[in-house]
Structures are given as C-alpha cells and as structure tokens.
Homo-oligomer: A and B are copies of this chain.
Amino acid sequence: MGEKHDLARLLAVNPFFGGLDGETLDAVAQLCVTRSLATGQTLFAKGDAGDALYAVRRGQVRISNETEDGRRTTLNVLSSGDVFGEVALLDGRPRTASATAVEPTTLFVILRRDLLAMIERRPSVAVQFIELLCARIRWMSQRTEEAAFLSLEQRLLRRLVALAQDFGDEIVVSQEELALFVGSTRESVNRQLQIWKRGGLLRLGRGRIHVLDPQRMARLASSDT
C-alpha cells in the first residue's frame, strides 16, 4: 500500500509518466512489481526475449551493447526515475542491448501482457509511449552523429560535460568505463585526460575525475570542431 503510493509518486515526477492523469497513473502503478539486483547482476542480455518494461527506483543500471567478437560499448547509465526496455517490450522482438546493475538496484517492473492491454484501452498511455520512443530516436541519432563525425577528444569532452551535470564536478568513473562510453580504449582516454590535466581543466584520482573548470569545458565542447 505504502509502496504503491510511493510508486505513483515516483511515476508522477518522471518525465515519462508525468503526462498521465492521476487515475491512469494509479492504473499503471497497479501493474508494477519490484525487483532487486545485486552489483554486477545482469537483468537481461542482448538477444533475450523482451517481456517487461523497467523503471529504476534506486541504484544504477548500465545499458551496453556487445558484438559477436566481444567488443562492448556502454550506451548509457540510468538512475532513479529512468525508464528502459520499452522497445523489445512494445514490438516483442529480442533485446538489442544488455542491462546490468552497477550498484545495488531496485527496479519497478511491468510485464508485457499487462501493459499492452492498457495501451489498447487508454490512448493517453499510447501517446506517452510514442513520445518516449521519439525521444529515444532523437537521442540515438545525436549519438550516432557524434560517433561518426567527432574526434575522440570531442566525444570525451561532451561525455564529461554530460556526466558532470549528473555527478557535480566529482565524477565517479574509471577511465576504462569512460573508454567504453565513448567507444575507445583506456589508453587513448588516459592520454587525452592527461592533456586536460596539464591544462588545469581537471584533476585525476583513482576511479574519479574532478572537473575544475566546468565552464571552460562546456565552452570547448560546444565551440570546437
């Protein structure tokens, strides 16, 4: 009961579910169950059947992508309030990416059959999903464009600026992980970070990056080639 209420509140502040009216929100909340993951635990892998939609309640989930030959990229790291898993849910085809917990995490889960029924009955939920999917597409085309045209330096810069918005200026991330984010290698990331360090833009620690001059970084990210 208290949990369902908690859930409705969480959903209400979510940009995704926020557009729904109270009654619909309650109906969605009724469909949810919760699930917990330990650090490193895999929720689903690329290729799995997609039979559920997830929302992060507490913790962090890494969405990543691996090719046959074992290369990986981190597409995104999601935290409280983020919704994911909607594509495989909606069209019933296999997952295109994998999801693993990077810390102890609690999720809300909505099963495919429940949600599809709700979409059919309530157009506003469908519209909500349409907007979610559109946002996803725009986000992806941004990413694609950056990956295709920008140098490592630029990609890294943008990623750091984005991370700094989530973390404040003490970003907790290993260089290895950062490399996965921008589709590069630890060594190359390190070399670029050293350049910025020498330029006084940031300080480096084990598993953390301290951004000293966020404004200047943001300026570099937008103005530069």
Contact = CB atoms under 8 A, between A and B. Distances in A.
Interface of A is mostly: helix
Q: Which of A96, A141, A144, A149 has the most CB of B within 10 A?
A: A144
A144 B121 CA distance: 35
Contact of A91 (B65, B71, B134, B143): B134
A120 B127 contact: yes
Interface residues of A, number: 36
Contacts of A93: 134, 138
Q: Which of A67, A93, A149 has the most CB of B within 10 A?
A: A149
Given A123-B123, A126-B126, A148 B73 contact: yes
A130 B131 contact: no
B127 A96 contact: no
When all copies of this chain in the complex are counted, the total is 2
Interface in A167-187: 183
16 contacts: A67-B145, A69-B225, A73-B148, A73-B149, A87-B137, A90-B134, A91-B134, A91-B138, A96-B138, A123-B126, A126-B126, A126-B127, A133-B134, A137-B137, A137-B140, A147-B148
B140 A91 contact: no
A131 B90 contact: yes
A119 interface: yes
Contacts of A133: 130, 133-134, 137
A35 interface: no
Given A91-B134, A130-B133, A144-B144, 20 more contacts: A67-B145, A67-B149, A69-B225, A71-B149, A87-B137, A87-B138, A90-B134, A91-B131, A93-B134, A96-B141, A119-B123, A119-B127, A119-B130, A121-B123, A123-B126, A126-B126, A136-B137, A137-B137, A140-B141, A140-B144
